[in-house]
Structure 1
Amino acid sequence: MHVPFRCATMALAALLAASVQAQPATYKIAYIDPLSGPFANVGELMLSHIQFAVDDINAKGGVLGGTRLQLLQFDSKLSAQESQSALQAAIDQGARAIVTGGSGSSVVTALVLSVARWNQRNPGKELLVLNHSSIDPEMTGKACSFWHFQTEANTAMKMKALANYIKKTPDVKKVYLLNQDYAHGKQWASYGRQLVGLARPDIQFVGETLHPIGRVKDFAPYLANIKQSGADSVITGNWGQDMTLLLKAAGDAGYDLRYFNHSAGSIPGTVLAASQAKLGQLTWVAEWHPGQADMPRVDALAKAYKAKTGKEFLAPRIDFTPRMLAAAINKAGSTDTPKVAAALENLSFDSVVGPVRMRAEDHQLLLPQVVNTIAPVDGKAVKVGWDGTNYGFRTDAVYSGNELAQGTDCKMIRP
């Protein structure tokens, strides 16, 4: 009597096994960045870029001839503690790679340390961290990790680009340093003093202030101090609402300043705030800016992105972060994390902004940087308006990744 039952059970098991085998394999990527709070718009923009790239990779066959990428989403809430909880949830759901960067360098650093500990204790279940926006040079310096890869130019590289430009800008004479009170803000101020001071020894630094990140509602008191100092320019690492509210306060006060920033134009609302202020010149640096001339591959990607999402495309590096991961998986011929990490080292990638290379000694991507200024459309230097305004971006200077490359204190420990 037990034989038919056993046969039926075996047949059912075989059917279930066949069903499992028929399902396409997946490689899970966990997105951990702010999706709520004052910087939610930044996190949503980054997520949209990554999701578009993942969908495009899958539409073209995925990786390894059929493995699909699956994007999991977690809200970091701009908190190291919340990010740790998100990391554990990602691990529980089978993630093999973490994509992050918009949570700030202190949060991303905590994630990298946690991943390194997890990897050491769980061989065979290792994770990678791909960092598209946190630009603390320590992350590819003294605090470098074999498991961490930075796909954005770091603070020193960006400030070197700005310093090179300021060297040729004689009307910058007195500089105030206004920055958010956390690791990145302090570093933006420090590298500003160091590299701009080196490029222009005649410049006077007339003041320095750190303010709470994401909590200042009115920058008028800070602007009053800047005005009292006699500054004509501000080096600020502010981003998100801290940048837009600063521009608003300056416009309300009628204070015509120059600002030097790392990524302002790629954050939603900044161009609108600059156009409404009508005063000041906001100069920033990125791998590309909207309306940049002679960039047909980015133009085509931006057009496809907007057609699918209804949103403006702003950050090629975020788009090509998962594409570089996919290229490394295919190069390795495996989804085994140590093999994928080894394949990412020294990976040369033909990105839409030109060839980029992941430097093996510290896992810092070498990519071009474009110094550009938010300015009114004039039909010549600025041909395209942005954010529904008649303001766009003027190209001021372009530097290659090799021109901006810095030395590194990284002593990479490989498994």
Structure 2
Amino acid sequence: MSGPGPAAWGRLRRVSAIVWIAALSLAAWLWLLLCQGFFWRTDVRLPPGDDPGVWPPVCVVVPARDEAAVLPASLPSLLAQDYPGRAEVFLVDDGSTDGTGELARALAREHGGLPLTVGSPGEPPAGWTGKLWAVRHGIGLARARGPEFLLLTDADIAHAPDSLRTLVAAAGTGGFDMVSQMARLRVESRWERLVVPAFVYFFAQLYPFRRIGRAGTATAAAAGGCVLLRAEAAERARVPDAIRQAVIDDVALARAVKGSGGRIWLGLADRVDSVRPYPRLDDLWRMVSRSAYAQLRHSPALLAGTVAGLALVYLVPPVALVAGAAAGSAATAAAGGLAWLVMTGTYLPMLRYYRLSYWLAPLLPFTAFLYLLMTVDSAVQHYRGRGAAWKGRTYARPEPVADDPAR
């Protein structure tokens, strides 16, 4: 009786390889579920804080470039902050061509509230991103007021009336040098509902919020839309000068503050919202691809590893389930199905946070495939010389930042 022929052995080896790949994907998901700081949980929220009695002075710095479309929905919420201490707002008009600065002054006259100063730093010098040059100018204006805290917030972020008060109370009670909230992003269009919650989910997977706030860990990140920073910690970390070339400035800021001995915290927001719309896939694509390759430090090796990792973790499970069922391989189908089930289960809390249908959870592999394509496109645009482009500016790969000889 003869054994299996060469063709049969070839099919067996292929099936065996698929089984092992599916098993590896399942093992990756079990590790992510149990060992990656419980990233999938959405209960890391701003810790409660006590009334300090005497509320410290705060300056709010808002970098703004061509933000006239969103400013009426965001700036009045800052001016209306119910803060018991001294606070004022500095909006830095970063070379806008749509009348952002004039609109900000008009909104302040109409709504009243906290004092508003509008400044303009001019074009950034070589080696600076536009946003960080604007932040530097805003901090310079604020420093003359002697604030204890700086609130760095984007022009598309709307704050609840007690936002500043709760941030300061949490920082004071918890002894934090930096407190950041991930603003709730808009999820009104079909593409926003499909792509936006996954963006926050992937971010939390890379930077588990629980590890960020834990002393002694190296994990550091922030959400640039809402960052409360002690002025003393900013001086100690030399920000924004020390991170002046950073395209992903919020993560760079957190690393600088934590690296200089500061305590930081990051969590999801309940009443801090982004009002910027991304109604079409093209809008979301540009938002992700403009900085994805910068996140990978412009490294082809990291790009290849990221693509392989996304494929293994997010694409293999559904492919293994279907391929295993078609080939009659119960082990392949079971491993792929279980991995897909764990993936779906970990995504449900984020969908609940965004008040979206749970039926979006099984579509996460498709969304991850879109992110894979966006990441590859980000690298392609970089090598075509378009780099990290935002509102008319393109940033090349940053060079190492030398210490300022004046310091």
TM-score tier (shorter): under 0.3
Larger RCO, structure (CA 8 Å, separation 6 or more): 2
Q: Structure 1-normalised TM-score? A: 0.25
Greater fraction strand = 1
Q: Structure 2-normalised TM-score? A: 0.26
Greater fraction helix = 2
